[in-house]
Amino acid sequence: MNNTNNAHPLDQPPAERGRHASRRRFLSVFGTAAVGLPLLGACGTVPDAPAVTTDRKSPMGGARPQVQASQAASPGNEVKRTSFPISAVGLTWTGSPRGVRLRLIDRSGKPGAWRKVTAGCPCAKDPETVPTKSTTPPNRALVPAYGSYGYQLDVDSGVRVVEAIAIDAGRSGTKRLPATAATPSKPTASGTGGAPAFPPAGVVLRADWGADEAKRFTADGSESSPTRFTRAQAITVHHTATPLDDPDPAATVRAIYEQHAVSNDWGDIGYNFLIDRQGTVYEGRFSGSDGIPAHNTRNEIVTGFHTFAFNPGNIGIALLGDFGKEKPSAPMHASLVGLTASLAALHKLDPLAAITYVSPTSGKSTPGPALGGHRDWTSTECPGSAAYLNLSAVRESAARFVR
Ligand SMILES: [Zn+2]
């Protein structure tokens, strides 16, 4: 079946652009309504929700990349179609981390092969109040979709897809982003070269990667997740479990922002920083308009949404790619060393130290590393075994600049 010739609902402009009022309402309304939606067409295709589009000026070169996304929904096993080419499908599910399969649908409606979805970083927002019982964050993945026009899910029994969102993250401008952004000078023979300055030269700020700041606000103009700042205690490394050969990492950052801010309803991207394979460092979670990423003017760190129950004071750095088997590239490694060294120096953290993290929310003390991986704090594969093993080298190198 070819829906492109029909008067598909998605081919018409979105009727309403009050993104966040509709977004929050939609999450509850659609979650219920979707169950009873009639199947449209002989192939049982259910139209996806209207796309939400942003298009503004960007310093990346020319217009701000156009980002489109379906409304976040909790789909069953029906085919979900879009009127735009999908660069990634963001998924959140409970149950087995290996219990989801996905197939992409091309423009003509032809399905591709079923693929197993690999759960990525189970990043999560802390509850506003101290939880009364331990909570396990759901599985999450950002599945590349290569310009498809739909997708279909198949899940094992016991698996429930909580949220799914189809994202076209747009094409980035032609302006070249810095190849390496946070590489410190070599240590001197005495072992110390002085920590690199923070913020790293060439860090790609939110406006530069095309963040649409409107996504952080509700329709009444209030911030969805107001910024909170606290003393830095730890640095935690993640991976995004997205493809290593990423042709447009800035677009992937925008897709993650869309998934975290809108689909997960966190109001922003969960990580404080992201690093791509070329070593480019991207600003993550919004922290004010002073041009200093991740911090306020009192040198406190903004709380992200990356390591559940250990977010306040924990600086989350995501490596773009899947590092289950492959180590970070040399430029990525160098930038991770430079960034962690500059942060450790700024906050007087010893990269080699074991610390006792004290939650400002619950007051609970938990032992952990000053510079570690997501799996040091919770049961997860993140940041991938190869990146995790590589962290000892990152600690050693960062410590040489700090000590
Ligand atoms: Zn993680």
In this predicted model, what pLDDT tens digit does every residue of 260-304 receive, in sequence order? 999 999 999 999 999 999 999 999 999 998 889 999 999 999 999
In the reported structure, the alpha carbon of residue 306 is separated from the centroid of ligand 1 by a whole-number distance in angstroms of: 6
In the reported structure, the alpha carbon of residue 311 is separated from the centroid of ligand 1 by a whole-number distance in angstroms of: 11
Residue 189 has pLDDT above 60, yes or no: no
Tokens of 330: 């040399």
221: nearest Cα among 211, 231, 213, 233: 213
CA 254 – CA 60 distance, rounded (Å): 13
Tokens of 13: 């402009």
Range scoring the smallest mean pLDDT among 29-38, 248-257, 301-310, 338-347: 29-38
Task: Name the pLDDT band for 55 (thresholds 50, 70, 90).
Answer: very low
Neighbours of 164 (CB within 10 A): 24
In the reported structure, the alpha carbon of residue 308 is separated from the centroid of ligand 1 by a whole-number distance in angstroms of: 9
Neighbours of ion ligand 1 (CB under 5 A): 121, 238, 374, 382
In the reported structure, the alpha carbon of residue 121 is separated from the centroid of ligand 1 by a whole-number distance in angstroms of: 4
**Mean per-residue pLDDT, 86-108:** 96
Tokens of 304: 């992200």
In the reported structure, the alpha carbon of residue 138 is separated from the centroid of ligand 1 by a whole-number distance in angstroms of: 12
Residue 209 has pLDDT above 90, yes or no: yes
Q: How far lies 332's CA from each of 17, 64, 93, 174, 180, in Å?
A: 38, 26, 30, 22, 8
Span 304-319, pLDDT tens digits: 999 999 999 999 999 9
Q: Which CATH superfamily is domain 206-402 in?
A: Peptidoglycan recognition protein-like (3.40.80.10)
Residue 107 has pLDDT above 60, yes or no: yes
* Domains of the chain, residue spans: 3-168, 206-402
Tokens of 343: 């942060």
In the reported structure, the alpha carbon of residue 382 is separated from the centroid of ligand 1 by a whole-number distance in angstroms of: 5
Range scoring the smallest mean pLDDT among 106-115, 186-195, 332-341, 391-400: 186-195
